[in-house]
Amino acid sequence: MLLTRSVAAASGSTVVILKGDYTLSGELTISQPMTIQRTSHRFGSRLFFTGTGPRSIQTTVKHLSEGVDAPISAAFRIESANVRVLDLYICCQYTGTETATQFGADWDVGILVKSKSFFYGERLRLDGYWRSAGIRYDVTAAGGNCDGSTLTDVWSKGFWGLLIQGAEAQVGQPMDSGDLRGAGGMSDFTATNCRFFGMDHTSAVRYLDTDGGAALLDGLVGPNSLGRVQGHRFVGCRFATREPYVLRPKNTARDLLIGCHIERLSGFRVDGVTAITKSMVSVDITASARFPRLIGTDIHSCGTSSIAAHTELERLACHEEGVAVPNILMSVAKSGAFRTVAATPTLTGSTGALSGGTPYSVQVGDYTRNGNTITYNARIALADVTGLAGNLSIALPLPSTSAQEVVVPVMTALVNHSADGKSIMGLISAGSSAITLYRVRDNASVSNLSASAVVAGSTFWLTVTYPV
């Protein structure tokens, strides 16, 4: 058609698509630098891809010893650096009345960037049930790279709304240094004010219960692979889906989310009956994702167990379920950084916890981190000791990693030291998550401070420095 011929001929210039709806059954291949845009108002030009897309594109995600990738189809096939696509509605055609097992036209990818740099997309909408991704970066070619890509005000859905896919190592083996698939990598990617969704069928029934979602970043590509696919920045973006993963960074490094919103959509599992709960949709920052950072990012109604367990995650001013979560600096690469973080102290008993309506009149604390050491300050004043029983301890904001015990000076008021007690001290045992409180006596062994020693008004002050 005329549009296909215009794209093929427009090297270094601009192809303007007139206002209207266009039906296409073949891919658009862009093999020269150019700009493709509409001529009227936003989404005035709508491209509907129908039928079954020609699966003629070969990727090299699989290791050669494990066979070849199944070929895929793409509506827009970007085979050149410096391509710009603006103000278009690109749809894998569907009617909106499909049943849960119907998905309209059969195409894999809306926009495929095939190891080419400086792609720029702005004010785009990738709609429909793309079987692989609304937008996919193929980072598996032996030559070229996907560096310097920018997405601005883009709305995209599909099996993955956004897929950054590098090569995979042979199963059970490290990446071969001589394997050059995706050696150029992908870095310096920025997405601003974008929205990414999974398949999210109009029936509210999942496409799969095991895979898929709003965004996957997976870049095991070549020697020192974790330095190849890296530096992805998301600013003011939304990730939302009812599919299994809202956001899944895997083999990738230095991903940064600033002011983003991550949420689970309501719906049903593939059976069409079982309602999807929080634990069924997760933000999965895998253990192989290096130095991820979340700043001012909200997470709503999603599973976050991998976030809590990640040892290199940096998180600042974030919320989960509308509640602020502790700011943490876990990355050893930031060993020279200082940061003061609020940390609410709690007093607990070994056989009974505080259960009164308002157990504390004062409960304040913070810690300052310098590399792998923190200084923790805390003050607790009790208002109601109902339920408190057993030996007393004060929880630490982060577990100690010291192989030795750490002694903690403690000042108190309205605490019974007993007749032969001289002072109260705390002790952090090796690897402990709490300060155990003791009576220190003259010419006698120490004994645990028990709940019977405190009353309403009892107050504790402490400052301790320890390794984490």
pLDDT of 48 over the 90 cut: yes
The 10 Å CB-count burial string (b at 16+, else e) for 431-468 is: ebebbbbbbbbeeeeeeebbbebbeeebbbebebebeb
* 398: number of Cβ within 10 Å: 19
pLDDT of 150 over the 70 cut: yes
148 — alpha (psi -120 to 50), left (phi > 0) or beta?
Answer: left
Q: What whole-number distance in Å separates Cα of residue 467 and Cα of residue 89? A: 54
Domain ranges of the chain: 2-333, 342-467
80: amino acid identity, one letter: S
State phi, psi for 124 to the nearest 5 degrees: -115, 150
- Residue holding tokens 């809590």? 308
| Joined tokens for residue 452 | 């019977």
pLDDT of 232 over the 70 cut: yes
Q: Residue 221: which pLDDT band, with cuts at 50, 70 and 90?
A: very low
- Residue holding tokens 């876990």? 330
Supply the mean pLDDT for the chain: 88
Q: What whole-number distance in Å separates Cα of residue 394 and Cα of residue 428? A: 10
Q: What whole-number distance in Å separates Cα of residue 160 and Cα of residue 149? A: 18
Q: If you average pLDDT over each of 205-214, 283-292, 352-361, 445-454, which comes out highest?
A: 205-214
pLDDT of 330 over the 70 cut: no
Order of strands across the sheet with 109-114? 28-30, 74-78, 109-114, 133-139, 160-166, 213-218, 245-249, 282-283
pLDDT of 286 over the 50 cut: yes
Q: Residue 368: which pLDDT band, with cuts at 50, 70 and 90?
A: confident
Task: Read off the pLDDT of residues 389-406 as tens digits, 9 standing for 90 and up.
Answer: 999 999 999 999 988 999
Q: Residue 262: which pLDDT band, with cuts at 50, 70 and 90?
A: very high
pLDDT of 12 over the 70 cut: no
Task: Read off the pLDDT of residues 83-131 as tens digits, 9 standing for 90 and up.
Answer: 999 999 999 999 999 999 999 999 999 999 999 999 999 999 999 999 9
Q: Running DSSP on this structure, what letter comes out for residue 391?
A: B
State phi, psi for 227 to the nearest 5 degrees: -95, 0
Task: Read off the pLDDT of residues 13-35 as tens digits, 9 standing for 90 and up.
Answer: 899 998 899 999 999 999 999 99
- Please report the pLDDT score of residue 184 as a whole number: 84
Of 61-70, 92-101, 141-150, 304-313, the least confident: 304-313
Give the CA count within 13 Å in the CB-facing half-sphere of 303.
17
- Please report the pLDDT score of residue 320 as a whole number: 86
Of 142-151, 195-204, 281-290, 412-421, the least confident: 412-421
pLDDT of 333 over the 70 cut: no
Percent of the chain surpassing pLDDT 70? 89
| Joined tokens for residue 332 | 């050893």
> Is domain 2-333 given the CATH code 2.160.20 in the classification?
yes
Identify which of 160, 327, 331 has the alpha carbon closest to the alpha carbon of residue 250: 160
- Please report the pLDDT score of residue 181 as a whole number: 83
- pTM for the predicted model, two decimal places: 0.72
Q: Mean of the pLDDT values across residues 227-251?
A: 92
CA distances from 288 to 38, 217, 249, 254 (A): 41, 11, 8, 11
